[in-house]
Amino acid sequence: MRLKTIFIIALALLTAGCAGPQTQEILGSVVVPTQATEIAGNHSIFIATTRKRSDDPNKVFDGERSATLNYARVNVTVPPVHQTGQIERRSRGKSDDPTKYFMASEVVGYDTQPKFTSALNADIDARGGRVMVFVHGYNTGFDDAVYRLTQIVHDSGYPGTPVLFSWASGAKTTDYV
């Protein structure tokens, strides 16, 4: 009996270690008005994804797989309180304040690959022809992937065009069972 209890506890701890955070809205409902001088950075993240568009427009994409590749660009602001290596995220119920948290300020969807390619190529040309492609890991929500790439670009001072490839990931272990 004791061995069975220890096994169940160990299994629960291992499974909990695989769990990622829940996908949250990337666009806030009511964003606190902020001047450009009040934020530490503003980054445009280009996105190609196998995720399905979310029914909630503030989440943009969910964890379900799309039959087609989808394209977007998300502009993300970095707060002046940002600490290198961290992603300052708002908690549920907190205000959408870009002076305190990473916030998406704009999402542009591209309904065709040629429109996306045109916008992407223009940005690449404007940034000296350099591109960084980031592919997130397992159990990663769309919002987490966008914020992580923004954090990497901001902290490293990367001058080129950041591109996120986001595959359909449930962001929680139970989505894979």
Residue by residue, DSSP assigns 90-135 as PPTTS-B-TTTS-EEEEEEEESSHHHHHHHHHHHHHHTTT-EEEEE
In-domain check, residue 11: no
Domain carrying residue 79: 21-176
Question: Which value, in Å, is the radius of gyration of the alpha carbons in the chain?
Answer: 18
Query: What digits encode the pLDDT tens for the residues 16-72?
Result: 344 444 546 767 655 666 777 788 999 999 999 999 888 887 788 888 888 999 999
Q: What is the pTM for the complete model shown?
A: 0.81
Residue type for position 160: G
CA-CA distance, 163 to 152, in Å (whole number)?
Answer: 12
In-domain check, residue 102: yes
At residue 16, the pLDDT reads 39
In-domain check, residue 162: yes
- Cα-based distances in Å from 95 to 18, 20, 24, 142: 29, 23, 14, 20
In-domain check, residue 4: no
In-domain check, residue 100: yes
Comparing 103 with 1, the larger pLDDT belongs to 103
Q: How many domains does the chain have?
A: 1
